Structure 1
Amino acid sequence: MEKVAAEVGGTAGFALDEEYSEQGHDPEMTRAFEASLARVSFTDADWEAVEEHDGVAYVLSRPMRAFTMPPELMRPMLLGVSREALALTAALLQSGATAVKNESNGITHGRERWLSLADEAVAATTDDELAGVLYRATVKRPISTGELLYSCGMHLLGAPDVELVATPTTNDEVEDCVTLMDTLAMYLLTDERAAEMADGEGFRLTEDSPRWLLHHYPDDRHESDDIFYNPLGYWRLTPA
């Protein structure tokens, strides 16, 4: 694992954390994966791999200071690190690791899903296409508070997270909410006009779709030293 981390993740300074990595079974690991949206893409083989693991390895990047950079430098740098993290994930799985979870956003995917996303990132031919792959790999959503839905992980891509004031009760309604959140998130990641958005502006999927109002809020859901904390805050969508 240490060799793979150094060879594949060298640019971002990925390295094995020897202090917390350990041999042996961690009885809390199954629950940790369950809390990380594993059910979305995990197969029986993935669950078996987690339940029967005989060691846990933590891989860290070097400290990131991207948020002190100008925006035009920050996002490309973070997208590059996220692309490298995805490539490293695939390399680890192909070198003996049986399951991978990202601690910086609380998300995991099944083995085949991770490998598929890594292949898509390699095949991406435009910045927007790559951003879409990294978004699907990196951003956990929808997370529900009971009163609204929100995402976690956009800080790893250099953009605000997204909130949606909605309480869906059916699978179709959840899918509609995710589509709305994803559309706004991709706008934030790929459209230069997103930097000019202001509180109270409207947002809709199409000309005939319902109109939503945009409001920006700081990330007061997490402490500033929390690994989930997004210093760029949230854009919240509320019904117009």
Structure 2
Amino acid sequence: MSEVFPRHVLCVLGSGLELSEMQRIAAGFGGFVLDREYSGAEPDPRMPGAFEASMAAVSFDEADRDAVRSHDTVGYLLSAPLMRELAADTSRRLLAATAALLRSGAAAVKNESNGLTHGRARWLALADDAAGATDENLAAALVAAWVKRPVYDGQVLYSCGMHLLGAPEVEIEPGTRPPAPEDLPGLVAHLDTLAIYLLTDPRAREIEDGAGFRMTEDAPRWVLRTGTCDRYDEDDLFFNPYGYVRLTREQ
């Protein structure tokens, strides 16, 4: 396993929110600092395109797009490198910090470490879901907040962002290429169920190739395969040092 430690890099657009205030709010949630080199107190004309490329269409409304277009500040908040055992808790705290920033003048937020954004209402709902949640409910909220899925590479559907929670990415072979639109909800449900299992079951650290996996006791059996992250270089923010776990159809 790679010795690289992932980290969150959060892009925060301000609208009347100064960089010093971004830093103060984020620091209140522990361990998050402002990258002074890349942050700036002026608008960046690349941001509308950057947010659209980060799955904005899924949860943005016109007010979110207007907020991106009218931003006046760009701040980059960094987490410390994520030790595996602390990654989920750090991500929970960063989700709470994101909600606090949005309630204090942030126009929009996206994560450079997974290429994912949400609209304001979606960010706040996810933070509310995570607040006070435990076990599977907390894992589900964190996956929804920080894991981009499904991404299709022509062969498999996969996730990007599980490294921010201290776990391997999840993948699934769709059966048809490209996957049929009517099959996508079921395939994504399998990805999410596997992701939550990896985050909540101690046995997940001991997965071996060929092990079986079922959504429910009477559901069809899938086979688990593991591998190393070969999509991204180790210096890429998307790189997952824990590799991936792939669902393949039982023959």
TM-score (norm 2): 0.86
- Give the 3 Å change call, closer, same or farther, for CA 43–11 of structure 1 in structure 2: closer
**CA deviation digits over 1:61-112, x for unaligned, max 9?**
23x151xxxxxxx33x111110111111111111111100011111110001
Q: 1:141 aligns with which of 125, 144, 149?
A: 149
Maintained 8 Å contact 1:2/1:15: no
The alpha-carbon deviation at position 137 of structure 1 amounts to 0.6
Following the alignment from structure 2 to structure 1, what is the Cα–Cα distance between the partners of residues 145 and 216? 26
The alpha-carbon deviation at position 47 of structure 1 amounts to 1.0
Per the alignment, residue 91 of structure 2 pairs with 82
Maintained 8 Å contact 2:41/2:72: yes
Following the alignment from structure 2 to structure 1, what is the Cα–Cα distance between the partners of residues 25 and 100? 10
Compute the RMSD of aligned alpha carbons.
1.7
Per the alignment, residue 3 of structure 2 pairs with none
Residue 107 of structure 2 aligns to a residue whose secondary structure is: coil
After alignment, is 16-25 or 182-191 more displaced? 16-25
The alpha-carbon deviation at position 135 of structure 1 amounts to 1.2
Per the alignment, residue 107 of structure 1 pairs with 116
1:106-125 equivalences in 2 (<5 Å): 106-124=115-133
Residue 98 of structure 1 aligns to a residue whose secondary structure is: strand
1:45 equivalent to 2:55? Answer: no
Maintained 8 Å contact 2:22/2:75: no
Following the alignment from structure 2 to structure 1, what is the Cα–Cα distance between the partners of residues 29 and 106? 21
The alpha-carbon deviation at position 169 of structure 1 amounts to 4.1
Following the alignment from structure 1 to structure 2, what is the Cα–Cα distance between the partners of residues 65 and 135? 16
Q: 2:201 aligns with which of 191, 198, 205?
A: 191
1:22-101 equivalences in 2 (<5 Å): 22-62=40-80, 64=81, 66=83, 74-75=84-85, 77-101=86-110
Maintained 8 Å contact 2:147/2:159: yes
Per the alignment, residue 159 of structure 1 pairs with 167
1:227-238 equivalences in 2 (<5 Å): 227-238=237-248
**CA deviation digits over 1:145-173, x for unaligned, max 9?**
12211001111111111111114544331
TM-score (norm 1): 0.89
The percent of aligned pairs where both chains have the same amino acid is 54
Maintained 8 Å contact 1:216/1:236: yes
The alpha-carbon deviation at position 231 of structure 1 amounts to 0.5
The alpha-carbon deviation at position 50 of structure 1 amounts to 1.1
Task: Count how many residue pairs are aligned between Structure 1 and Structure 2.
Answer: 230
1:130 equivalent to 2:148? Answer: no
Which one scores higher on RCO, CA 8 angstroms, separation ≥ 6?
A: 2
**CA deviation digits over 1:187-230, x for unaligned, max 9?**
11101121222101121212343322111010011111111111
Following the alignment from structure 1 to structure 2, what is the Cα–Cα distance between the partners of residues 239 and 161? 18
The alpha-carbon deviation at position 55 of structure 1 amounts to 2.3
After alignment, is 17-26 or 135-144 more displaced? 17-26
Maintained 8 Å contact 1:89/1:100: yes
Following the alignment from structure 2 to structure 1, what is the Cα–Cα distance between the partners of residues 40 and 23? 16
